[in-house]
């Protein structure tokens, strides 16, 4: 799992060298970056199906989930990792997530989401509570369709981001600069 992750994301070497937003977590500078509201990878069955259909078109067979362990406040010693087939249902996906956290379902952690194809990745961020999609420019329209994103998603989330970064407004600007929004 880590081999594919390292082709898309950069991450710290331990819990003290953490890399997470607003800093850049993607390796590929040529990626386009899109934002959606966070909390879950997909908000409903329709969004999940559209995402899985896109991943199938890219030739993916599995979706990999790896916790950005250093960014998560936990006493656990082992990060959460899982894989799920792209032909899975939304309910099957939720069952995998519930194995990790049945009470909150990802609400307090940071995750790298990726596949075998190194031309895309999704970072599920707790602060700010957004998903950051990084993809090669030829895939941008597909992710915009799957998540119903207009443009890069910044305009839609602007008020939310101002609230999330109210205590540290310079983080909002860093996010915008890091992800070329």
Task: Tell me what the mean pLDDT of segment 153-179 comes to.
Answer: 95
| Domain region containing 164 | 2-178
Q: State the pTM of this model.
A: 0.91
* Tokens 């977590």 sit on residue: 25
Q: State the pLDDT at residue 79.
A: 74
pLDDT digits 0-9 by tens, 133-142: 999 999 999 9
DSSP 9: B
Domain count for the chain, please give it: 1
Contact 118, 9 (CB under 8 A): no
**Could you give the CA distance from residue 74 to residue 114 in angstroms, rounded to a whole number?**
23
13-62 pLDDT per residue, tens: 566 677 889 989 999 989 999 999 987 899 899 999 999 999 999 999 99
pLDDT at 73: 63
pLDDT over 90 percentage in the chain? 61
């Amino acid at each position: 799992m880590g081999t594919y992750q390292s082709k898309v994301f950069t991450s710290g070497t331990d819990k003290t060298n953490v890399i997470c937003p607003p800093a850049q977590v993607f390796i590929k500078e040529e990626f386009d970056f899109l934002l959606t509201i966070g909390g879950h990878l997909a908000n409903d069955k329709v969004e999940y199906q559209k995402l899985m259909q896109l991943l199938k078109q890219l030739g993916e067979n599995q979706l990999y989930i790896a916790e950005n362990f250093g960014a998560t406040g936990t006493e656990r010693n082992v990060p959460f990792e899982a894989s799920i087939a792209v032909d899975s249902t939304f309910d099957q996906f939720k069952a995998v997530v519930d194995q990790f956290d049945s009470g909150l379902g990802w609400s307090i952690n940071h995750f790298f989401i990726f596949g075998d194809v190194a031309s895309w990745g999704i970072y599920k961020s707790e602060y700010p509570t957004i998903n950051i999609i990084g993809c090669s420019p030829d895939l941008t329209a597909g992710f915009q369709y799957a998540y119903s994103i207009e443009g890069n998603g910044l305009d839609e989330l602007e008020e939310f981001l101002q609230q999330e970064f109210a205590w540290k407004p310079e983080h909002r600007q860093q996010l915008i600069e890091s992800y070329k929004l």
